Structure 1
Amino acid sequence: MAEHVGASAEALESARSLLAARDRDLAEADAELAEVVSAAHAAATEAIRKLDAINAEIEAALAQNAVTAPLEGREFARFLLAKQREISDVLIAARAEADAKAVVLQRLLDRYRVSSTPA
């Protein structure tokens, strides 16, 4: 009987150790998740700010420019092409950031999954 109690105590201690390790791992994953979400939010906010600034520049140029001569039209077309490149750069950077965050989130998802087999 004492052997049974001893074995139960060992099993209980082993289970506690496993739960404590899982708790530490989940706490680390939670901290990393918070960091990833915060960084993703900051990146999205910055991309939106840049796009809004580009939009404001285009709107201001439209308000100021009455294109009446071919030379003015070509200059305005170059301006718009430059703004298109800026928009494209912002979107490419935002997409790369989102893809990088998706990889991290997938790895975190794997950490959050509970294994059905004992460790």
Structure 2
Amino acid sequence: MAEYAGASGEALESARSVLAARDRDLADADAELAAIVSNAHAAATEAIRRLDAVSVEIEAAVAQRTLAAPTEGREFARFLIAKQREISDILITARADANAKAVVLQQLIDRYRVPSTAQ
């Protein structure tokens, strides 16, 4: 009977050890997830701020525009093209950041899955 209790004790200690390791891994994954979500929020907020700034610049330019001469029209068109490129750069950067975070999130999903040996 003592042998059985010893084996059960070892099995219980082994299970506790496995659970403690899993708990540490999940805590690390939680911290990583919180950092990713916080960073994604900051990146989105910054992109929105930059887009709002471009919008204000365009609106101010439109309000002040006086196209009396063709050269002024071309200058305004160059301004608008530059702003379009700036918007495009903001969106490309935001998309690349989102794609990179999606990869990390996929890896986190795998960490949150219950290992097949525990099922």
| TM-score class normalised by the smaller sequence | over 0.9
Consecutive unaligned residues of structure 1, counting only runs of 5 or more, are: none
Sequence identity of aligned pairs in percent? 77
**What does the per-residue CA deviation read over 1:42-97, in whole Å, with 9 as the maximum and x for residues that have no partner?**
00000000000000000000000022321111000000000001001000100110
Residue in structure 2 matched with residue 42 of structure 1 by the alignment? 42
Q: Is 1:93 paired with 2:68?
A: no
Q: Distance in 1 between matches of 2:42 and 2:90?
A: 14
Counterpart of 1:82 in structure 2 is: 82
- Are 1:71 and 2:71 an aligned pair? yes
Distance 1:19 1:66 in 2: 72
The corresponding residue for 1:29 is 29
Structure 2 regions of 5+ residues with no counterpart? none
1:32: how far off?
Answer: 0.5
Quick one: distance in 1 between partners of 2:5 and 2:43?
A: 56
TM norm structure 1 = 0.96
CA distance in 1, matches of 2:48, 2:67: 29
Q: Which of structure 1's runs of 4+ aligned residues deviate more than 4 A? A: none
Paired with 1:82 and 1:54, the residues of 2 have a C-alpha distance of: 10
SS of the aligned residue for 2:98 comes to: helix
Q: Matched residue pairs, number?
A: 119
Report the Cα distance in structure 2 between the residues aligned to 1:70 and 1:85, rounded to whole angstroms. Answer: 23
TM-score (norm 2): 0.96
Query: Per the alignment, in what secondary structure is the counterpart of residue 117 of structure 1?
Result: helix
